[in-house]
A and B are shown apart, each in its own frame.
Chain A
């Protein structure tokens, strides 16, 4: 029997009953009366047959739609707020998930571990020589699948276009140990030499995803390598911040380091450094693996000390540590996991506020529909049915809000990557700026999280009205509603709390905005406006130092000759990138030092003119000094002069690098003004400039350098020209990290800007929420006391009286919230002090502006219900009695 038939059947059965009763001698009326509530019986029968809840749900939902359509303002506001709350929570979850929660996408990530050496002073060391790798591979009883990997930099030649990349050299069995197979072609095989597996992103970027790439030859360090495969998109190695461009066999190192001064012999290979990755054997604990590794490490250092008695003293002082890398390694995670959790909790708190305020609004509506509810109860609706109406309404609201929120999150989340700074500190060289590869695209897990929080929101939102309808008895609804004092106290408390929260957020936003603006107007000591920067790496094109110096001269001269270029120079270190070169120097009057006491930069003589740094005394660096010459010329800044030559004329004074005074390395020839060096926040450090000749020709670790070009106008406009110049001079020299100083300064403030953006967004959102919450409270109050207010107006209360009556509902909550908020933000200011710049935590402008904003918004929220109360028509409210 289908539903309709069953329904008809029941109708007929009831009719038959009545007929039988009549035949039994009852009058039609009495038969009908005796029969009782036909609708109720039908309802119950339906419930028995099981379709009732669906029926009712459909009907309740339809009813909810009708109700919500009748109040478009309320509906749109609630849906939007829910959407924003859910989108914010999802975005934060995506970040937390990508950085903290997602396991490495390899086979059985839980068993993956990596070996570290923990030192008391320096950061954990992850690099060991091949001897230790072999020892563990052959003898470990706690670990299996032991493999090594090491990052390198290389210039890759893709047929005319040279690019600087970071391939990983990996030991045999690397992909097999991780359980990763190729998306295209094959992975590296044991015994491979001069082969390469491309990462998926590099394949797309450099080869446009060409499937015929397998078998093609590329050149690393001018050596041919054959592409044998492409890794799957999800695999980016064990460091999740950045993806290597390719993986090559470890033994390829034989071929890579034949620069003239280094012989790629057995010794060279043996002194290379590797990260050691392994799997715990089944049932083995981290502690056991650690204990065993300690023995391996001890043996390794004993062996090293025997072979190289004069090796670094720090070696062997650390203790072995085996750590799980189930989630991969991430420098960003190390820096910011606390902040990320804080952000997620903040978003969660906001979502709770959304729930509470939506609940309050629904409650206000519930009381406005009190009569309706009472009538429903009187004609036999059960409490559960009333509750169901509210559940349906909150379900419609939260589903709409949730879907919209998920759409917003889906669309905007990938752009969150811009909030995160470029990656640094990933491989050997913290100088390198790397492209972030966090996968921020929402996936099914994120969608599931979104659905879960939507459901949670729906439940929390319905609690208030459902609770109310559960306690609702027939009489109180029909009598004069006096309002529930306890409930109102609770709401006022909630409101005060929210206002305090908003105040804290807005005060913090204000402090950050003021700090940021102060930072942006810091006098850096150089003119940042027109300078474009290019990092050039002659080392990976196998230049000798002599060739490098020649290249520098040609670059500077060539750049100067370009149209639109005012000046050009070269420096070893670019400013405002958070990093620099520190050194220990001694002078005849300070003959001993044991810690970094100065900063340094290697520059060509044109540097000062190019950067707009002024000479206060003396002259610039001498040109064409020989590396052997001592002492060589140096230019120092004011702080350096004050620090090391107080009260003297520093010109002509000598100093030297090292811990103890022996002979002069440098003679001061000029003094320039102080400049900020690593960041805007730091006070300018003592700084000396020397020429590039300082690096002797047999030094293999020649670093890359940075070409500074000063444009007449917009620095971005000369970038293409300079790029062309570099290509003309030598297409095999990679250049990278192309930027402008302005851009670098902007990047250096990413943390401040992110905090401003987040605090402002969260703050404004929170204020809107509290405004809606307050509106809900007042609207509820006005609805509950319609009759009282009507009566008061009828007996001649002035508008001022009515406003006072409403104000008494609001003023305590707002006042308490503002006072608590101001106090809290002052207290929390201690924590934020390190983030502030030249602004005290009691900055009156920030606090004043925050309080003014909260106050204004509250006033606007209060205006509407107040206006409604004043407009009440006493006659009609009284007639309702």
Chain B
């Protein structure tokens, strides 16, 4: 099993929104999806997931409704709203900026040590 990494503060919101981009999903499903997409590296604690979902709903970035799952169980499905889409785009942009910035810092160091 690959080593797990703790999620950066604020990243969870982005991952949840990203997961919901492909359609409505319930909490359990979202956790599973993030885990699967990250090849088991990212494991979302339920203790963080549910408060995060409620926070997103409070902000109006997701809405929720009770539906039947494929296995005929009742579950609360979360769906991305228009505002949520915008928020995802914004967070994604910020994320890329951050990655680039961190990469910029890390790269020259390697070059120096190589030369």
Contacts and interface: CB of A to CB of B under 8 A. Distances in A.
A470 to B, nearest CB: 23
B2 interface: no
A44 to B, nearest CB: 4
A246 B82 CA distance: 76
B46 A16 contact: no
A21 B54 contact: no
A41 B75 CA distance: 18
A214 B53 CA distance: 76
Contacts of A34: 46
Contacts of B75: 13, 16-17, 20
A382 to B, nearest CB: 14
Contacts of B37: none
B76 A48 contact: no
A381 to B, nearest CB: 15
Nearest to A23: B71
Given A9-B76, A16-B26, A23-B71, A40 B55 contact: no
A48 B74 contact: no
Contacts of B9: none
Interface string A464-476: 0000000000000
A349 interface: no
B115 interface: no
B47 A36 contact: yes
Interface in B13-28: 26-28
A467 B51 CA distance: 29
A14 to B, nearest CB: 8
A48 B55 contact: yes
Contacts of B73: 16, 19-20, 23
B47 A20 contact: no
Contacts of A48: 51, 54-55, 58
B51 A12 contact: no
A20 B58 contact: no
Contacts, number: 57
A45 B51 contact: yes
A490 interface: no
B28 A37 contact: no
A831 B46 CA distance: 72
A384 interface: no
A13 B69 contact: no
A24 B71 CA distance: 10
Interface string A12-51: 1110110111011000000000111100110011001100
A17 B58 CA distance: 20
A17 B45 contact: no
B54 A36 contact: no
A165 B76 CA distance: 86
Contacts of B66: 12
A10 B76 CA distance: 9
A40 B51 CA distance: 10
B55 A36 contact: no
B95 interface: no
Contacts of A21: 28
A16 B74 contact: yes
A13 B50 CA distance: 9
Contact of A40 (B26, B47, B58, B69): B47
Nearest to B75: A16
A49 B76 contact: no
Nearest to A46: B54
Contacts of B69: 20
A13 B54 CA distance: 11
Given A20-B26, A34-B46, A41-B46, A49 B74 contact: no
Interface in B37-62: 45-47, 50-51, 54-55, 58
Nearest to B72: A23
Nearest to A37: B47
Q: Chain A at the B interface: mostly helix, strand, loop or mixed?
A: helix
A616 B66 CA distance: 114
Contacts of A12: 66, 74, 76
Contacts of A49: 54, 58
Contacts of B28: 16-17, 20-21, 24
A36 B27 CA distance: 14
Contacts of B51: 41, 44-45, 48
B51 to A, nearest CB: 4
Contact of B54 (A20, A24, A45): A45
B28 to A, nearest CB: 4
B47 A17 contact: no
A37 B50 CA distance: 11
A23 B71 CA distance: 8
Given A13-B27, A13-B50, A45-B51, A36 B45 contact: yes
Contacts of A40: 47
B71 A35 contact: no
A368 B69 CA distance: 53
A34 B58 CA distance: 26
Most interface-central of A23, A44, A48 (chain B CB within 10 A): A48
B74 A45 contact: no
A37 B48 CA distance: 10
A716 B1 CA distance: 105
A13 B47 CA distance: 13
Contacts of A9: 76
B46 A36 contact: yes
Contacts of B26: 16-17, 20
Contacts of A10: 50
A436 B28 CA distance: 79
Given A17-B28, A45-B54, A35 B76 contact: no
A48 B28 CA distance: 20
Contacts of B74: 12, 16
B45 to A, nearest CB: 6
Residue from B51, B66, B73 having most chain A Cβ neighbours under 10 A: B51
B82 to A, nearest CB: 21
A40 B28 CA distance: 18
Interface in B86-113: none
B49 to A, nearest CB: 9
A101 B105 CA distance: 64
Nearest to B28: A20
B50 to A, nearest CB: 5
B2 to A, nearest CB: 18
A36 B45 CA distance: 8
Interface in A204-254: none
Nearest to B32: A24
A7 to B, nearest CB: 12
Which of A10, A34, A37, A45 gathers the greatest number of chain B CB atoms within 10 Å? A45
Contacts of A16: 26-28, 73-76
A262 B30 CA distance: 107
A20 B28 CA distance: 7
Nearest to B59: A48
Contacts of A41: 46-47, 50-51
Contact of B27 (A17, A23, A24, A44): A17
Nearest to A13: B76
A36 B55 CA distance: 19
Contacts of B47: 36-37, 40-41
24 contacts: A9-B76, A10-B50, A12-B74, A12-B76, A13-B50, A16-B26, A16-B27, A16-B74, A17-B75, A20-B69, A23-B71, A24-B28, A24-B32, A35-B46, A36-B45, A40-B47, A41-B47, A41-B50, A44-B50, A44-B51, A45-B54, A48-B54, A48-B55, A49-B58
Interface of B: 26-29, 32, 45-47, 50-51, 54-55, 58, 66, 69, 71, 73-76
Given A16-B74, A41-B47, 14 more contacts: A10-B50, A13-B75, A13-B76, A16-B28, A16-B75, A16-B76, A20-B26, A20-B29, A24-B32, A40-B47, A41-B46, A44-B51, A44-B54, A45-B54
Interface of A: 9-10, 12-14, 16-17, 19-21, 23-24, 34-37, 40-41, 44-45, 48-49
- Kindly list the 10 A-B residue pairs having the minimum CB-CB distance in the complex, ordered from nearest: A20-B28, A44-B51, A36-B47, A16-B75, A48-B54, A13-B76, A45-B54, A17-B28, A35-B46, A41-B50
